[in-house]
Amino acid sequence: MKKSLLQQFEDHLRSQNLRLTDQRKLIVNSFARKKGHVSAEDLYRHIHKTTPSIGAATVYRTLKLLADAGLASGKNFGDGYVRFECCLQRSAHHDHLICTRCGKIVEFSNSTIEKLQETVARDHGFLITDHSLDIYGVCQDCSVKQ
């Protein structure tokens, strides 16, 4: 049986001699319910609506602990904000379309692009160990608003 994000986080905290506080539980559970990429700021605003006693620093530190545990990954899409994605919910490798107007992020997978990247790397004597493809542009909703 697979352990939940919270259970795995608790295991990590225990290995670091840290406690799973009620605040951390709330933050991890809120993060687990989010889909896609979420910034610490967005998660904080969401949590603050119902639990104003949790500070922004606690949200930031908890997301960092999740990332340190390998349970979340952070990525900057060029706008100065790191957005986190739950590694347990993430599908196989995927790439991103990022709207430069509204910040919308669309995840996609395309086997043709993956094969082309492998061919390009091989043609240049590279063995791919990791990669990411981020395509920046204007989403359909924003282009209609022009």
Q: Fill in the amino acid letter for 125.
A: G
**Whether 53 and 23 share a structural domain:** yes
Average pLDDT per run of 10 along the chain, which is 146 residues long? 86 94 95 88 95 95 94 84 79 81 85 91 91 89 83
Domain enclosing residue 38, as ranges: 5-86
37 is an annotated ligand-binding site residue? no
**Whether 56 and 101 share a structural domain:** no
Q: Which of 60, 86, 112 lies at the terminal end of a domain, its last residue?
A: 86
**Whether 31 and 69 share a structural domain:** yes
**Whether 110 and 56 share a structural domain:** no
Q: Total structural domains in the chain?
A: 2
CB hemisphere CA count around 54 (13 angstroms)? 25
94 is an annotated ligand-binding site residue? no
86 is an annotated ligand-binding site residue? no
CB hemisphere CA count around 105 (13 angstroms)? 21
**Whether 37 and 58 share a structural domain:** yes
131 is an annotated ligand-binding site residue? yes
* pTM of this structure: 0.72
